[in-house]
């Protein structure tokens, strides 16, 4: 294989590239970001890798969640804190269900660039470039807003720095103190039908923490107890390249824009630019796996991306859709196993279940999301393995973007508070409901309790949405 360097990706064919009006100006921005401090450190990155290695061995469960696309506009204290709260609450529930520690990775502090199926968008006879995320251009439908602006990379780096700064302050301060689980409460706890189940779990965890402490006589500090990592799709390679660094006392190169970058489904060509970039960085990385991935392609990708079979290096994030997972997943489990390389399997039950209503609104049906996750647990177990994580698009706000859940949101509710420019996210209550489902499922699979009395919602033909599936390769 050829020599790797932070910009060797430029010698390969790239999907989802951005044509800046002035490539020279884009180079100047990249050079400027390259001089600025990194957003994360190599110690943290390697710390995450060892946690993911533990997850691959079945000792932890990975929770990854956040917006489909973060926006510069909502880089504010409430939005960030609420996202942290819902992820913390979900992780408590998952600790209880899996009886394992949870690895928390937020889709934040850099989730600003989006792959698009269509390069252009037409409205009333006018055709403009598609909106590609705040790192690239603006959502407004004008020629000026849609023209890629390289300075947005610098704005994105700054927003990511502000976000990570606030998250670190919350994590090391009192906010995530496990003795004050009430700090994490969002409004739903007051009036949700699931509130009592959550409170019971929180009480059990609080009690066992107290018990451990009185036994061991120590007081685990909040920030030793809880780690938070960041992740985003490593889509816009100039931005990633600008933050690809060598550090003292470590060999190789790190992408220090984030702890956990992943390769999206549209850029997973083994001979393409993204795979070239990712093979050379030392971060633990994710790879999205969809229905279009053949067993041969997956084996090649594993070989290219993890030639040394390093534990924790590669997480396969599968997203097939509730109707296709049973067909697609088993052969890929066998393919990955045949390489002998350790991988962590994580289920993204969102991206294979995107639908468009007859009114043209992008949505997802909660029952289908639950159904895919349910099948993922069962299929991995039936194949002698284990589902080691879940990856969800969610928000800490009470948005109405996905249909269903305990509050029974219907297609008619979508217009009420639909804020996403791109994919529809679970609101905090739906996100908690999914975590409670996963927790019960893991307890049942671990033999703690039976599934008796609990009826997983079944996806059926009488869904409350009259929607067609969007294409999903």
Sign of dihedral through CA atoms 460, 325, 292, 113? Answer: positive
Length of the chain: 473
Q: For residues 53 and 343, give the distance between their C-alpha atoms in angstroms, rounded to a whole number.
A: 8
| Closer residue to Co ion, CB minimum distance, 26 or 373 | 373
If one asks whether residue 288 binds ligand PEP (CB under 6 A), the answer comes out as yes
Give residue 191's Cα distance to chain centre: 28
Q: How far is the CB of 216 from ligand PEP (least distance, A)?
A: 40
Residues 6+ apart with CB under 8 A from 104: 63, 87, 88, 91, 226, 227, 228, 229
| Number of chain positions touching ligand PEP (CB under 6 A) | 10
Using the rule CB under 6 A, give the single segment among 86-94, 198-206, 263-271, 279-287 that binds ligand PEP.
263-271
| Closer residue to ligand PEP, CB minimum distance, 66 or 311 | 66
| Closer residue to ligand PEP, CB minimum distance, 180 or 473 | 473
Secondary structure letter of residue 246 according to DSSP: -
**Six token digits for residue 240:** 């990633």
Q: How far is the CB of 233 from ligand PEP (least distance, A)?
A: 6
Q: Please name which of 50, 62, 46 lies closest in space to residue 105, comparing C-alpha atoms.
A: 62
If one asks whether residue 265 binds ligand PEP (CB under 6 A), the answer comes out as yes
Using the rule CB under 6 A, give the single segment among 264-272, 294-302, 323-331, 368-376 that binds ligand PEP.
264-272
Q: How far is the CB of 392 from Co ion (least distance, A)?
A: 10
Using the rule CB under 6 A, give the single segment among 197-205, 259-267, 325-333, 453-461 that binds ligand PEP.
259-267
If one asks whether residue 264 binds ligand PEP (CB under 6 A), the answer comes out as yes
| Closer residue to ligand PEP, CB minimum distance, 95 or 273 | 273
| Closer residue to ligand PEP, CB minimum distance, 96 or 355 | 355
Using the rule CB under 6 A, give the single segment among 210-218, 262-270, 396-404, 435-443 that binds ligand PEP.
262-270
Residues 422-461 that bind Co ion (CB under 5 A): 423
Per-residue contact flags (x/-) with ligand PEP for residues 180 to 219, judged by CB under 6 A: ----------------------------------------
The only residue of 30, 39, 63, 68 in contact with Co ion, by rule CB under 5 A: 68
Using the rule CB under 6 A, give the single segment among 78-86, 261-269, 330-338, 457-465 that binds ligand PEP.
261-269
| Phi, psi values for residue 123, rounded to 5° | -135, 130
CB 403 within 8 A of CB 410: yes
Q: How far is the CB of 401 from ligand PEP (least distance, A)?
A: 14
The only residue of 68, 94, 237, 459 in contact with ligand PEP, by rule CB under 6 A: 68
Residues 148-187 that bind ligand PEP (CB under 6 A): none
If one asks whether residue 392 binds ligand PEP (CB under 6 A), the answer comes out as no
Pick what 319 binds: ligand PEP, Co ion, none; C-beta below 5 to 8 Å, kind-dependent. Answer: ligand PEP
Tell me, letter by letter, the H, E, C secondary structure of 167-227: HHHHHHCCCCCHHHHHHHCCCHHHHCCCHHHHHHHHHHHHHHHHHHHHHHCCCCCHHHHCC
The only residue of 138, 319, 364, 443 in contact with ligand PEP, by rule CB under 6 A: 319
Q: Please name which of 229, 224, 225, 221 lies closest in space to residue 49, comparing C-alpha atoms.
A: 229
Q: For residues 93 and 73, give the distance between their C-alpha atoms in angstroms, rounded to a whole number.
A: 31
Q: Please name which of 354, 440, 410 lies closest in space to residue 98, comparing C-alpha atoms.
A: 440
Secondary structure letter of residue 22 according to DSSP: -
CB 344 within 8 A of CB 312: yes
Per-residue contact flags (x/-) with ligand PEP for residues 333 to 352, judged by CB under 6 A: ------------------x-
Q: How far is the CB of 327 from Co ion (least distance, A)?
A: 22
**Cα–Cα distances in angstroms (integers) from residue 13 to residues 4, 275, 333, 421, 453, in the given order:** 15, 10, 28, 28, 53
| Closer residue to ligand PEP, CB minimum distance, 113 or 201 | 113
Pick what 265 binds: Co ion, ligand PEP, none; C-beta below 5 to 8 Å, kind-dependent. Answer: ligand PEP
Q: How far is the CB of 370 from ligand PEP (least distance, A)?
A: 19
Using the rule CB under 5 A, give the single segment among 60-68, 149-157, 175-183, 227-235 that binds Co ion.
60-68
Residues 388-417 as b/e (b if ≥16 CB within 10 A, e otherwise) read bbbbbbbbbbbbbbbbbbebebebebbeee
Pick what 264 binds: Co ion, ligand PEP, none; C-beta below 5 to 8 Å, kind-dependent. Answer: ligand PEP
Task: Using DSSP, state whether 344 is helix, strand or coil.
Answer: strand
Q: For residues 305 and 312, give the distance between their C-alpha atoms in angstroms, rounded to a whole number.
A: 12
Residues 414-453 that bind ligand PEP (CB under 6 A): 423
| Phi, psi values for residue 231, rounded to 5° | -150, 150
Interface residue list for Co ion (CB under 5 A): 68, 423
Interface residue list for ligand PEP (CB under 6 A): 68, 115, 233, 264-266, 288, 319, 351, 423
């Amino acid at each position: 294989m050829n020599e790797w360097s932070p910009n060797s990706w430029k010698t390969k064919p790239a999907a989802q590239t951005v044509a800046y009006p002035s490539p020279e100006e884009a180079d100047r921005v990249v050079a400027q970001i390259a001089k600025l401090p990194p957003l994360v450190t190599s110690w943290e990155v390697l710390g995450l890798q060892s946690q993911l290695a533990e997850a691959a061995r079945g000792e932890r469960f990975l929770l990854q969640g956040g917006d489909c696309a973060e926006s510069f506009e909502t880089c504010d204290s409430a939005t960030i804190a609420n996202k942290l709260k819902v992820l913390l609450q979900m992780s408590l529930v998952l600790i209880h269900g899996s009886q394992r520690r949870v690895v928390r990775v937020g889709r934040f502090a850099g989730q600003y660039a989006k792959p698009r199926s269509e390069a252009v968008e037409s409205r009333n006879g006018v055709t403009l470039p598609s909106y590609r995320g705040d790192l690239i251009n603006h959502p407004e439908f004008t020629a000026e807003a849609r023209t890629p602006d390289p300075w947005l990379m610098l704005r994105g780096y700054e927003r990511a720095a502000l976000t990570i700064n606030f998250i670190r302050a919350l994590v090391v301060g009192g906010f995530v103190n496990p003795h004050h689980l009430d700090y994490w409460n969002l409004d739903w706890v007051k009036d949700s039908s699931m509130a009592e189940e959550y409170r019971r779990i929180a009480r059990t965890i609080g009690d066992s923490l107290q018990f451990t402490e009185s036994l061991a006589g120590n007081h685990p500090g909040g920030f030793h107890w809880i780690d938070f990592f960041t992740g985003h799709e490593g889509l816009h390679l100039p931005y990633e390249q600008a933050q690809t660094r060598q550090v003292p006392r470590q060999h190789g190169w790190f992408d220090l824009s984030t702890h956990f970058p992943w390769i999206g489904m549209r850029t997973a060509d083994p001979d393409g630019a993204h795979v070239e970039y990712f093979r050379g960085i030392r971060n633990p990385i994710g790879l999205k796996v969809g229905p279009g991935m053949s067993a041969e392609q997956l084996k090649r990708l594993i070989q290219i991306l993890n030639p040394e079979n390093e534990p924790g290096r590669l997480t396969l994030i599968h997203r097939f859709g509730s109707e296709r997972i049973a067909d697609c997943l088993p052969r890929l489990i066998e393919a990955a196993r045949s390489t002998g390389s350790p991988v962590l399997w994580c289920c993204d039950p969102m991206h294979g279940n995107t639908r468009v209503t007859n009114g043209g609104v992008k949505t997802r049906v909660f029952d289908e999301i639950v159904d895919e996750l349910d099948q993922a647990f069962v299929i991995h177990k039936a194949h002698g393995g284990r589902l080691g994580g879940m990856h969800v698009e969610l928000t800490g706000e009470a948005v109405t973007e996905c249909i269903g859940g305990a509050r029974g949101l219907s297609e008619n509710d979508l217009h009420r508070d639909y804020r996403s420019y791109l994919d529809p996210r679970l609101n905090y209550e739906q996100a908690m409901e999914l975590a409670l489902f996963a927790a019960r499922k893991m307890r049942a699979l671990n033999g703690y309790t039976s599934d008796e009395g609990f009826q997983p919602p079944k996806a059926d033909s009488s869904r409350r949405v009259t929607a067609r599936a969007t294409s999903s390769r």
